[in-house]
Amino acid sequence: MYYLTAEASFDGAHFLAGYEGKCSNLHGHRWRVILNIEAEELQAEGQQRGMVVDFGDVKSALKKETDYFDHTFIYEEGSLKETTVAALKDENFLMRVVPFRPTAENFSKYFFEKFTSYGFKVAEVTVYETPNNCASYRED
Protein backbone atom coordinates (compact mmCIF):
# COMPACT_ATOMS: atom_id res chain seq x y z
CA MET A 1 0.00 0.00 0.00
CA TYR A 2 1.22 3.50 -0.85
CA TYR A 3 0.50 6.51 1.31
CA LEU A 4 0.76 10.17 0.43
CA THR A 5 0.65 12.85 3.14
CA ALA A 6 0.12 16.59 2.76
CA GLU A 7 -0.81 19.29 5.23
CA ALA A 8 -2.01 22.85 5.50
CA SER A 9 -3.17 25.10 8.31
CA PHE A 10 -5.53 27.97 9.00
CA ASP A 11 -6.14 30.40 11.82
CA GLY A 12 -9.69 30.52 13.08
CA ALA A 13 -11.73 31.44 16.13
CA HIS A 14 -14.49 29.34 17.66
CA PHE A 15 -16.26 28.51 20.89
CA LEU A 16 -18.08 25.43 22.15
CA ALA A 17 -21.74 26.09 22.90
CA GLY A 18 -23.03 24.20 25.91
CA TYR A 19 -19.54 23.45 27.21
CA GLU A 20 -18.72 24.18 30.84
CA GLY A 21 -15.15 25.44 30.87
CA LYS A 22 -12.73 27.78 29.13
CA CYS A 23 -13.68 26.59 25.65
CA SER A 24 -17.15 28.08 26.05
CA ASN A 25 -15.48 31.46 25.49
CA LEU A 26 -14.50 32.75 22.07
CA HIS A 27 -10.87 31.81 21.35
CA GLY A 28 -8.64 31.02 18.42
CA HIS A 29 -6.38 28.26 17.16
CA ARG A 30 -3.91 27.55 14.42
CA TRP A 31 -5.72 24.51 13.03
CA ARG A 32 -3.40 22.05 11.25
CA VAL A 33 -4.96 19.65 8.75
CA ILE A 34 -3.03 16.53 7.72
CA LEU A 35 -4.41 14.57 4.79
CA ASN A 36 -3.34 10.97 4.14
CA ILE A 37 -4.24 9.40 0.81
CA GLU A 38 -3.73 5.73 -0.01
CA ALA A 39 -3.43 3.59 -3.11
CA GLU A 40 -2.74 -0.09 -3.64
CA GLU A 41 -0.94 0.67 -6.89
CA LEU A 42 0.70 3.65 -8.51
CA GLN A 43 -0.81 5.09 -11.66
CA ALA A 44 0.54 3.20 -14.65
CA GLU A 45 0.12 5.67 -17.51
CA GLY A 46 0.04 9.31 -18.46
CA GLN A 47 1.46 12.34 -16.76
CA GLN A 48 0.85 10.89 -13.30
CA ARG A 49 2.60 7.59 -14.08
CA GLY A 50 4.44 6.40 -10.97
CA MET A 51 2.34 8.55 -8.61
CA VAL A 52 -0.52 8.00 -6.20
CA VAL A 53 -1.90 11.39 -7.28
CA ASP A 54 -0.28 14.63 -8.31
CA PHE A 55 0.90 16.54 -5.22
CA GLY A 56 -0.22 19.73 -6.98
CA ASP A 57 -3.82 18.49 -7.03
CA VAL A 58 -3.65 17.60 -3.35
CA LYS A 59 -2.08 20.94 -2.38
CA SER A 60 -4.71 22.81 -4.39
CA ALA A 61 -7.58 21.00 -2.62
CA LEU A 62 -5.98 21.54 0.79
CA LYS A 63 -5.46 25.23 0.10
CA LYS A 64 -9.02 25.74 -1.11
CA GLU A 65 -10.58 24.04 1.91
CA THR A 66 -8.32 25.56 4.56
CA ASP A 67 -8.42 29.05 3.03
CA TYR A 68 -12.22 28.94 3.37
CA PHE A 69 -11.82 28.93 7.18
CA ASP A 70 -8.68 31.08 7.45
CA HIS A 71 -9.07 34.14 9.69
CA THR A 72 -12.77 33.53 10.27
CA PHE A 73 -15.09 33.04 13.22
CA ILE A 74 -16.37 29.46 12.98
CA TYR A 75 -19.56 28.70 14.86
CA GLU A 76 -22.10 25.91 15.09
CA GLU A 77 -25.43 26.50 13.40
CA GLY A 78 -28.03 27.59 15.95
CA SER A 79 -25.50 28.32 18.71
CA LEU A 80 -25.76 32.13 18.50
CA LYS A 81 -28.74 34.45 18.72
CA GLU A 82 -29.84 35.87 15.37
CA THR A 83 -29.22 39.37 16.72
CA THR A 84 -25.62 38.41 17.58
CA VAL A 85 -25.00 37.03 14.10
CA ALA A 86 -26.56 40.15 12.55
CA ALA A 87 -24.40 42.46 14.71
CA LEU A 88 -21.21 40.57 13.80
CA LYS A 89 -22.10 40.68 10.11
CA ASP A 90 -22.82 44.40 10.44
CA GLU A 91 -19.26 44.80 11.77
CA ASN A 92 -18.01 42.93 8.66
CA PHE A 93 -16.66 39.93 10.57
CA LEU A 94 -16.03 36.97 8.28
CA MET A 95 -17.96 34.07 9.76
CA ARG A 96 -18.37 30.44 8.79
CA VAL A 97 -21.33 28.53 10.12
CA VAL A 98 -20.98 24.74 10.28
CA PRO A 99 -23.65 22.12 10.98
CA PHE A 100 -21.55 20.56 13.78
CA ARG A 101 -19.82 21.56 17.00
CA PRO A 102 -16.46 22.96 15.78
CA THR A 103 -14.16 20.45 17.49
CA ALA A 104 -11.04 18.80 16.10
CA GLU A 105 -12.96 15.51 16.02
CA ASN A 106 -15.77 16.92 13.89
CA PHE A 107 -13.37 18.84 11.64
CA SER A 108 -11.40 15.64 10.95
CA LYS A 109 -14.56 13.94 9.65
CA TYR A 110 -15.64 17.10 7.79
CA PHE A 111 -12.31 17.32 5.93
CA PHE A 112 -12.29 13.54 5.30
CA GLU A 113 -15.61 13.88 3.50
CA LYS A 114 -14.51 17.02 1.63
CA PHE A 115 -11.32 15.46 0.30
CA THR A 116 -13.15 12.24 -0.59
CA SER A 117 -15.52 14.36 -2.68
CA TYR A 118 -12.47 15.52 -4.69
CA GLY A 119 -11.98 11.90 -5.73
CA PHE A 120 -9.02 11.18 -3.45
CA LYS A 121 -8.88 7.78 -1.76
CA VAL A 122 -8.56 9.25 1.72
CA ALA A 123 -7.05 6.96 4.34
CA GLU A 124 -7.20 9.39 7.25
CA VAL A 125 -7.46 13.06 8.14
CA THR A 126 -5.89 14.44 11.32
CA VAL A 127 -6.73 17.89 12.65
CA TYR A 128 -4.54 19.55 15.28
CA GLU A 129 -6.30 22.12 17.41
CA THR A 130 -3.10 22.92 19.30
CA PRO A 131 0.49 21.80 18.69
CA ASN A 132 -0.02 18.89 21.12
CA ASN A 133 -3.66 17.89 20.66
CA CYS A 134 -5.28 16.36 17.61
CA ALA A 135 -8.11 14.15 16.44
CA SER A 136 -8.18 11.78 13.47
CA TYR A 137 -10.93 10.28 11.34
CA ARG A 138 -10.77 7.28 9.04
CA GLU A 139 -13.26 4.76 7.78
CA ASP A 140 -12.29 1.14 8.23
Q: Among the options 71, 77, 113, 139, which is catalytic?
A: 71
Q: Among the options 65, 76, 124, 129, which is catalytic?
A: 129
DSSP-based three-state secondary structure for 90: helix
Dihedral through CA 87, CA 66, CA 110, CA 32, nearest 10?
Answer: -110
Q: Among the options 7, 20, 23, 105, which is catalytic?
A: 23
- Count of CB atoms situated within 10 Å of the CB of 70: 15
Annotated catalytic, 77?
no
29 among annotated binding-site residues: yes
Helices 104-117 and 55-69: angle between axes, nearest 10 degrees: 130
User: How is residue 24 annotated by DSSP?
Assistant: G
Annotated catalytic, 71?
yes
16 among annotated binding-site residues: no
30 among annotated binding-site residues: no
Q: Which residues are annotated as a binding site?
A: 14, 27, 29
Q: Which residues are annotated as a binding site for Zn(2+)?
A: 14, 27, 29
Residues designated as active site:
23, 71, 129
